[in-house]
């Protein structure tokens, strides 16, 4: 069942990578958007092009500010909760701040959604599957985690707490919730600053410095274009049958990180080579990674008909062009 009357969406973290693309899509179809973002990893520049749109309001603030969240949730029809401390590097470097944002921040947003009975979509992550390298992973696949002393699993656990909280509010209080587990999402506007692999490798290639690949590079990932991911989010937001359920969102096209680095060298025409770096050197002693992470997106496809339309080739073409333009602008 679809529900297409124009609405006002509150997007927490809307100045970030995924949030700014979702904002563009909602504005383009005539909806209104209010963003709450503290610009910790997001950038005002991500939405500079939409600045004059009367249906967009950007509020600078934190999801940890209960009064602010209360007021903004009250004024909107639907909440999309994207604000989070994101990126393995950031989480390893600032574990306490990340935990507070990802657990307490989500709780504040979910509580406010419950107070005003607003539909809320929560973005979780493929990290919640932990070291489960089997695949493709369905929404009911096991979580396989290492010790809580390994910081990576703290992020995974925080996001799992968000999911559990959303599910409990749905079951016990009837809150209309949708939980979405995003797998690697990439494309224009993704910052290279927090350890995201594609923007980092592209900047290394364009800068003519070795592309650093962690471990032996045989680990594979699947990369989805952010516009495909936003399409999935909209289909779920518009479908009342998504309520109370959890969905994987991601591409199923696997590529090894070593292969990815070589393709980026190829696409950019870089003279740089690849340098293998141990995980201990890249992150911290005891850092754990998984060999594969492939989503099974049957549930999403069966409900909404979604399939990704953009390939890794499209992703690299667009992100390399953007990185070249950024580089040229910084040299002006």
Residues within the interface to ligand NAD (CB under 6 A)? 12-13, 15-19, 36-42, 62-64, 82-86, 101, 105, 123, 125, 182, 184-185
For the CB of residue 113, give the shortest distance to ligand NAD in the complex, in Å.
15
**Annotation marks residue 155 as catalytic:** yes
Residue number with CB closer to ligand NAD (42 or 308)? 42
For the CB of residue 90, give the shortest distance to ligand NAD in the complex, in Å.
8
For the CB of residue 162, give the shortest distance to ligand NAD in the complex, in Å.
9
Residue number with CB closer to ligand NAD (105 or 195)? 105
Q: Which of 9, 116, 129, 155 is catalytic?
A: 155
Residue number with CB closer to ligand NAD (40 or 212)? 40
Residue number with CB closer to ligand NAD (84 or 290)? 84
Residues 6+ apart with CB under 8 A from 223: 184, 185, 186, 198, 251, 253, 255, 312, 315
For the CB of residue 273, give the shortest distance to ligand NAD in the complex, in Å.
27
Residue number with CB closer to ligand NAD (37 or 228)? 37
For the CB of residue 278, give the shortest distance to ligand NAD in the complex, in Å.
23
Residues identified as active-site? 155
């Amino acid at each position: 069942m679809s529900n297409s009357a124009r609405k006002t969406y509150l997007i927490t973290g809307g100045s970030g990578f995924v949030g700014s693309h979702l904002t563009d899509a909602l504005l383009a179809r005539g909806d209104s958007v209010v963003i709450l973002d503290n610009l910790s990893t997001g950038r005002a520049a991500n939405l500079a092009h939409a600045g004059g749109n009367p249906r967009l309001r950007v509020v600078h603030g934190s999801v940890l500010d209960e009064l602010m969240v209360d007021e903004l949730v009250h004024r909107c029809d639907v909440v999309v909760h994207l604000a989070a401390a994101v990126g393995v590097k950031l989480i390893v470097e600032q574990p306490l701040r990340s935990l507070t944002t990802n657990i307490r921040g989500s709780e504040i947003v979910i509580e406010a959604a419950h107070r005003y009975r607003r539909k809320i979509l929560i973005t979780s992550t493929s990290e919640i599957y932990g070291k489960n390298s089997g695949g493709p992973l369905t929404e009911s696949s096991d979580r396989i985690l290492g010790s809580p002393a390994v910081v990576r699993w703290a992020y995974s656990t925080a996001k799992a707490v968000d999911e559990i909280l959303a599910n409990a509010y749905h079951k016990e209080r009837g809150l209309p919730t949708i939980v979405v587990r995003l797998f690697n999402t990439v494309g224009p506007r993704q910052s290279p600053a927090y350890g995201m692999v594609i923007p980092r490798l592209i900047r290394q290639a364009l800068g003519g410095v070795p592309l650093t690949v962690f471990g032996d590079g045989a680990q594979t990932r699947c990369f989805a274009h952010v516009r495909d991911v936003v399409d999935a989010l909209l289909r779920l937001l518009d479908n009342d049958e998504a309520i109370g359920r959890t969905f994987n969102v991601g591409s199923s096209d696997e590529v090894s990180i070593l292969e990815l680095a070589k393709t980026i060298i190829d696409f950019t025409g870089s003279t740089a080579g690849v340098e293998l770096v141990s995980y201990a050197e890249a992150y911290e002693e005891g850092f754990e990674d998984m060999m594969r992470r492939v989503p099974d997106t049957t549930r999403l496809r069966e409900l909404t008909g979604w399939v990704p339309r953009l390939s890794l080739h499209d992703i690299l073409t667009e992100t390399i062009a953007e990185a070249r333009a950024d580089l040229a602008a910084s040299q002006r």
